Structure 1
Amino acid sequence: MISQGQVLPAISLTQLAEDGMQTLTNDDLFAAKKVVLFAVPGAFTPTCSNAHLPEFITLADKIKAKGVDAIYCVSVNDAFVMKAWGEAHNAEHIQMLADGDASFTKALGLDKDTAGFGGVRSTRYAMIVEDQTVTGLFVEKDKEFVVSRAEAVLAQL
């Protein structure tokens, strides 16, 4: 598993933007930026939709006021689902990123097998990344939702 102080592995994530599908690299997402990234097991799932994403939406201005350039939400879903999920929650201040084949999640060592739920998914976590280096990592224990909450991350900024 990736740890604090490590540089993110070379990755690409996708995003469905107004002008079509975009493939974004580490340089696009993290170079010369301070970013909060949070990951969820699945778009439109109960905790993710009722608490995790909404809390980051509510606190986005306070998070950005701490010098954060961008807030990213990542899930092992496709870019179409992530765009629809963001729109359903009015997440205009959160960049919704798809890790469709779980390659980013696996490269971080934060994947889990949820065969009965949907196959390979992400562990619930949040991280602070500064110029591609992880400066804060908050990984939830299974079936918990404490350390990756928006309020907990805000307190670490």
Structure 2
Amino acid sequence: MIQIGEKIPAVEVTVAGTEGHKKVNVAELFAGKKVVLFALPGAFTPTCSAAHLPGYVVHADDLKAKGVDMIACLSVNDAFVMQAWGESQNAEQLTMIADGGAALTQALGLVLDTGDFGGIRSQRYAMVLEDGVVKLLNVEAPNSFEVSKAEAVLQAL
């Protein structure tokens, strides 16, 4: 698993937005920025839709007031799902990242294998990166939702 002090791997992901989908190298996307990256097991799933993503939408201005340049939400879903989910959650101030083949999730060592329920997904976590270097990494224990919520990241900043 990636550790504090390490650089985010240079892996290609898709940014899903209202202007379409764009393949980007995540190391380049985060270069020169202070980024809050949070990941969750799946778009349109109960905790993710009811609490995790909405918390970052509600606290986006608070995070930006703490010097955060970008708030990015990652899930092992395709770009169409991430775009639709972002639109349904009024998350236009967030960067929605589709890790469709789980390449970044695997490179980070944060895979959650849900078997027949959904397959390879991301563990639930939040990290703060500065110029691509991990400064904070909060990985949730199984079936937990405490350390990766927006309020916990705000408190740590």
Task: Please identify runs of 4+ aligned residues in structure 1 that moved more than 4 A.
Answer: none
Unaligned runs of 5+ in 1: none
Say which SS state the counterpart of residue 116 (structure 1) adopts: helix
Whole-Å separation in 2 of the counterparts to 1:18 and 1:91: 11
Whole-Å separation in 1 of the counterparts to 2:27 and 2:45: 30
Task: Tell me the percent identity.
Answer: 58
Normalized against structure 1, the TM-score is what? 0.97
Q: Could you tell me which residue of structure 1 aligns to residue 83 of structure 2?
A: 83
Q: Could you tell me which residue of structure 1 aligns to residue 104 of structure 2?
A: 104
Whole-Å separation in 2 of the counterparts to 1:48 and 1:19: 24
Superposition RMSD in Å:
1.0
Say which SS state the counterpart of residue 117 (structure 2) adopts: coil
| Structure 1 residue 19 displacement after superposition | 3.9
Please list the CA deviations of residues 105-147 of structure 1 after superposition, one character each: whole Å capped at 9, or x if unmatched.
0000000110131100000000000001000000000000000
Say which SS state the counterpart of residue 13 (structure 2) adopts: strand
Q: Could you tell me which residue of structure 1 aligns to residue 8 of structure 2?
A: 8
Whole-Å separation in 2 of the counterparts to 1:90 and 1:104: 25
Normalized against structure 2, the TM-score is what? 0.97
Whole-Å separation in 2 of the counterparts to 1:27 and 1:134: 11
Say which SS state the counterpart of residue 73 (structure 1) adopts: strand
1:119 aligns with 2:119: yes
Q: Quick one: which amino acid aligns to residue 89 of structure 2? A: H
Say which SS state the counterpart of residue 96 (structure 2) adopts: strand
1:148 aligns with 2:148: yes
Q: Quick one: which amino acid aligns to residue 87 of structure 2? A: E
1:94 aligns with 2:66: no
Say which SS state the counterpart of residue 116 (structure 2) adopts: coil
